Every structure is written in C-alpha cells, then in structure tokens.
Structure 1
Amino acid sequence: MDIGQKIKNLRIQKQLTQEELGERTDLSKGYISQLERNLSSPSMETFFSILEVLGVTPKQFFDEKEQIQQVIYTDNEHTIYFDDEKGYGVRWLVSDSNEKEMEPIILSFEGQGEYKLFEPSMSDTFAYVLEGEACVEIGNDQYIAKAGESIYYQALKQHQIKNLSKNKCSLLLVATNSYL
C-alpha cells in the first residue's frame, strides 16, 4: 500500500492544499510533501491527526477496497421532512448532500402547497416533474411545468416552487450548493 499516495488522494478529495493540511495539523507544507512522496514516515500521533483532518478512520484508510466515498444511498438513509402548514414534503436522497456540490431531493406537494421562498444565489436548479404541475416563480415571472417536463434555472432572483392546483404534485429537484 502506498500510504503517501493515499494521503495525497484524500487531501485532494477534501480540496485541501498541502499548506492547508499542514496548518490544520500543525505540520509544515514541506513535511506534508515528504509524506506524500514517501520520503518520511509520520509518528502514530501525527498520522492520526492527519486522518482526522481528512475525515477518515484508520480502518477506512487501510481498507483494501479503498471505498472511502459513499456511492450508493439506500432508501432507509433518506431524510424526510413534511411541513403540514405549507403542504410540502422533502425527501433528501443523499444523506450528506449539504457537504456536496449538488443536493438532490424529491419535493412533493399537497394541493396548493408551497415550498419556502429562497433569496438570490449563484445556485443552479434542475427539476423534473414526476406528477401533477409545478409552478416556479423567479422574480416576478411565473412558469408552469407539467409531469414529464423539466425545469432549469439560475437562482439569480428570489425564487419559489409552488403547486397552484388542488391535485398532488411531485418533482425530482437537484440544486447546486453554490451561494453568493
């Protein structure tokens, strides 16, 4: 096992520079470079400190399958929330999506339900209407999408998704987590 390369891969996955990893572990950038090139070996204390910053356990680090990143998310890992007052429900399809660049959800509405109002951001939003009709309000403009139709917009203005009809509505929605 190439320990140095594995540390480097994890550091890159966490989008850290050698300098940032060094700062978070009280090590120098040069020492991190030496570790990644297998020119130096860390003490156990230093190694555990590095793993903590990289967000993996020693077991995960040494697992030969090297599947540190979760790929499959099962139904029982979904988080579900329903707002009775506003008549909408959210099912987060990826349990740790707030730590990722995209946030996929199933958004469902009772008749005339409405999701919360969002302020402008740099986020992109994609939705596919699974059932019923969804109304998207972006600024002063209003768009209606029916089952089988797609929605895509940049959230540069205040925006909200609603169900204007008395029938149920549901959509698969994926938004990027990039904000102003």
Structure 2
Amino acid sequence: MRTIGNKIKNLRLQKGLTQEELGERTDLSKGYISQIEREISSPSIETLFSLLEVLGISAKDFFDEDTLNQKVVYSQKDVTRYEDPEQGYHVTWLIPESNEKEMEPVLLRLAPGGHFKAYEPSGSETFVYVLEGAVTLKLGRESFVATQGETLYYKASEIHQLRNDSKAETKVLVTATDSYL
C-alpha cells in the first residue's frame, strides 16, 4: 500500500512539477511539500484537498485501492506526455496509474545534448533499455554509456541522471521501482 506522501510525490512528478512549483500553486513552501512527500509531516484535510485539486485527481481516485477491475491493456489514449524543450526531453508515462504501482514504465526521448532531471538517492531499482541512440547514466561520480540494444540496471543509491551526450536523438524505455520519476 502506498503512503499519502508517496502518492503525492508520484502525482507531482507525473505532472512534471517541482516541489517549488507545487508549493507555489498551493501556497505551501517547498520544504513543507518535501516533508509531506517524505512522510515527516501529514497534511490537514484542507491542505490535502488543495494538493489534489492542483494535481488533478479526486479524493476518491486518490484513495481508491480497488484492484478488482484491473485494467490490463493500455492504448495510446491512456498515456500521459510531458515535454521540456529547454532540457531537451520528452517523457511518456505508458501506464496512467503507474504512480500507484510498484514500478513505473516510461518512454523517454532525449534530444542531442538533452538531459532528464537529476534525482536524489532513493531505494529504487531502475531498468533502462536503449531503443535508439545512446544514453549516458551519471550515477554519483561515475558515468555509464549504453547504446541501442543495451541495458542499464542500477540501484538509485546516489544522485543519478540520464543524459544524451551524442549528436542524435536517443529513445529509451525506463522502468523504475517505487518512486524514481
């Protein structure tokens, strides 16, 4: 069962918001958002409803743990997309409620010189399969490069980031456990 803080964090990330942006939209501080996500603080009902409104989800859907009507097949109309042209990436969440699951599969396209967000250390395990091009994983102080047909698999125990240091677009399938994206 997912915690309230973990659900909020995953919804925020799925919407492509930083803690600061979510805080600005809800009149909460970045630090307080961080405390909620890490389960250090619990939001009041009013604060929770404010967060859910900004995150675009009803309280019923947020708390619904019903797996009896499990969806198995997903189509293009189910995906959620976010693009950041400044950072040079386009992310597609392949399963809409993956933020509620134990793993979160996404399709990530990186423009030449593009990079995805840098993430803090976590307990997540991450699988990256390179569909096209080449991707560089910065994991702590080390860098690892994988090319088309190769796979990266790592524990996210250090600051980590996916980058495209090549001159061609890169496309990767990323699946992370728990709360990577």
TM-score (norm 1): 0.63
- CA shift, 1:75, in A, is 1.0
Highest Rg: 1 or 2?
1
In structure 2, relative to structure 1, the CA distance for the partners of 1:171 and 1:76 (3 Å cut) is same
- CA shift, 1:122, in A, is 0.2
**Pairs aligned (count):** 121
In structure 2, relative to structure 1, the CA distance for the partners of 1:111 and 1:122 (3 Å cut) is same
- CA shift, 1:138, in A, is 0.3
Aligned equivalent of 1:143: 144
In structure 2, relative to structure 1, the CA distance for the partners of 1:55 and 1:154 (3 Å cut) is closer
- CA shift, 1:143, in A, is 0.3
Higher relative contact order (CA 8 A, sep 6+): 2
**Map 1:34-49 → 2, pairs under 5 A:** none
Aligned equivalent of 1:108: 109
Aligned equivalent of 2:166: 165
Aligned equivalent of 1:68: 69
**Map 1:1-180 → 2, pairs under 5 A:** 55=65, 68-177=69-178
In structure 2, relative to structure 1, the CA distance for the partners of 1:167 and 1:158 (3 Å cut) is same
TM-score (norm 2): 0.62
In structure 2, relative to structure 1, the CA distance for the partners of 1:75 and 1:154 (3 Å cut) is same
User: For structure 2, which runs of at least 5 residues remain unmatched after alignment?
Assistant: 3-62
How far apart are the structure 1 equivalents of 2:100 and 2:74?
A: 15
List structure 1 runs of 4+ shifted beyond 3 angstroms. 53-56
Q: What's the C-alpha RMSD, in Å, of the aligned pairs?
A: 2.1
* Identical amino acids, percent of aligned pairs: 43
